[in-house]
């Protein structure tokens, strides 16, 4: 399924993004766009209106009701511009 492939590409782009490299950021934006386009297509083909589905999260996280979510679940540590600096610098294994 195309959508699953795009999610894989987005995942790889998230792992490899370099906030100092504009080309890297642009690539990440494109992968988000691709995922959104396929998600929109799947919703449309299924007769689902995405704007209606977003209502689930209009008040923030459905579990903790916070924006952003403060649930203590595993989170991906990203080193992206708009996030607070992370002290966690352990390198990830490169799975491809
Ligand atoms: Zn939450």
pLDDT of res. 9: 97
CB 15 within 8 A of CB 92: yes
Centre of ligand 1 to C-alpha 62, Å, is 7
Q: In angstroms, what is the span from residue 72 Cα to ligand 1's centroid?
A: 8
Express each pLDDT in 6-58 by its tens digit: 999 999 999 999 999 999 999 999 999 999 999 999 999 999 999 899 888 88
How far is the CA of 57 from the CAs of 17, 38, 47, 90, in angstroms?
Answer: 27, 20, 20, 32
Tell how far the Cα of 19 is from the centroid of ligand 1, in angstroms: 26
The residue extents of the domains of the chain are 2-55
15-36 per-residue burial string, b: 16 or more CB within 10 A, e: under 16 = eebeeeeeeebebbeebeebbe
Q: 31 in helix, strand or coil?
A: helix
Q: Please tell me the predicted confidence (pLDDT) of residue 83.
A: 52
CA of 96 relative to ligand 1 center, distance in Å? 30
H helices present in 17-89, as ranges: 22-45, 50-53
- How far is ligand 1, taken at its centre, from the CA of residue 28, in Å? 25
CA of 63 to the centre of ligand 1 (A): 5
Angle at alpha carbon of residue 95, lines to 93 and 87, rounded to 5°: 35
Tens of pLDDT, residues 49-91: 998 998 888 889 988 888 888 988 766 666 655 554 444 444 5
């Amino acid at each position: 399924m195309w959508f699953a492939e795009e999610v894989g590409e987005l995942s790889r782009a998230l792992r490899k993004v370099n906030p100092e490299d504009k080309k890297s950021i642009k690539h990440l934006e494109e992968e988000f766009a691709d995922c959104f386009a396929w998600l929109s297509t799947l919703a449309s083909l299924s007769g689902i209106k995405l704007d209606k589905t977003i209502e689930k999260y209009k008040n923030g996280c459905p579990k903790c009701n916070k924006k952003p979510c403060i649930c203590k679940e595993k989170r991906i540590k990203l080193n992206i511009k708009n996030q607070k600096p992370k002290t966690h610098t352990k390198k990830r294994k490169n799975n491809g």
